[in-house]
Amino acid sequence: MASNKSQVTSEKTVKELAAPQQEARAFGRYLKISPTKVQDLARLIRGKRVAEAETILKFSGVRGGEVVLKVLHSAEANAGTGFDKESWIVAEARADRGPIFRRRIDPKSRGSRGLITTNSTHFKIVIREQKTVNQEKHRPTENEQMVRSAAKRSGDGA
């Protein structure tokens, strides 16, 4: 029995050492908005801090901004206690196509008809602590760029 307990504790320590990154997820399913309208917002907030993403969504002026903001608030709530908007970033923001709702007949000329459809969206947001996500790449200063371009020119002309 003692050996079983030691095996369990050793497995726990291994799991604790290989713990996954701290993240929180939230899903918005069957949202009554077209995915193409929400995809632009997803591109805007991906990679931004949560506080900055909230500001972007609040003042976007698009109806989808309110919907995505609700999903972002849900992800914040899922993050639990000790959540700091400045230290978490939006690691993944994704809008997928959901089922088509509300197919109605639209009468046309000469006895023909058309269909009026309403698209829906499944939206997913994953937020992670900034410590676990790679920092932005180092961007060279103007002087470094000038030195590199001069070195390339001298190498090409020789």
Residue 93: give its domain's CATH number.
3.90.470.10
User: Region 37-41: what's the mean pLDDT?
Assistant: 94
* Any domain includes 15: no
* Any domain includes 52: yes
Task: Indicate whether this model's pTM tops 0.85.
Answer: no
User: Region 32-45: what's the mean pLDDT?
Assistant: 94
State how many domains the chain has. Answer: 1
* Any domain includes 4: no
Q: Is the dihedral of CA 13, 18, 20, 21 positive or negative?
A: positive
* Any domain includes 34: yes
User: Region 17-30: what's the mean pLDDT?
Assistant: 79
* Any domain includes 9: no
Average pLDDT over the chain reads 82
- Name the residue range of residue 29's domain: 21-151
SS3 content of the chain, % helix, strand, coil (to 5): 45, 25, 25
pLDDT digits (tens, 9 = 90+) for 81-90: 878 888 899 9
* Any domain includes 158: no
pLDDT digits (tens, 9 = 90+) for 109-153: 999 999 999 999 999 999 998 863 344 556 777 777 888 888 888
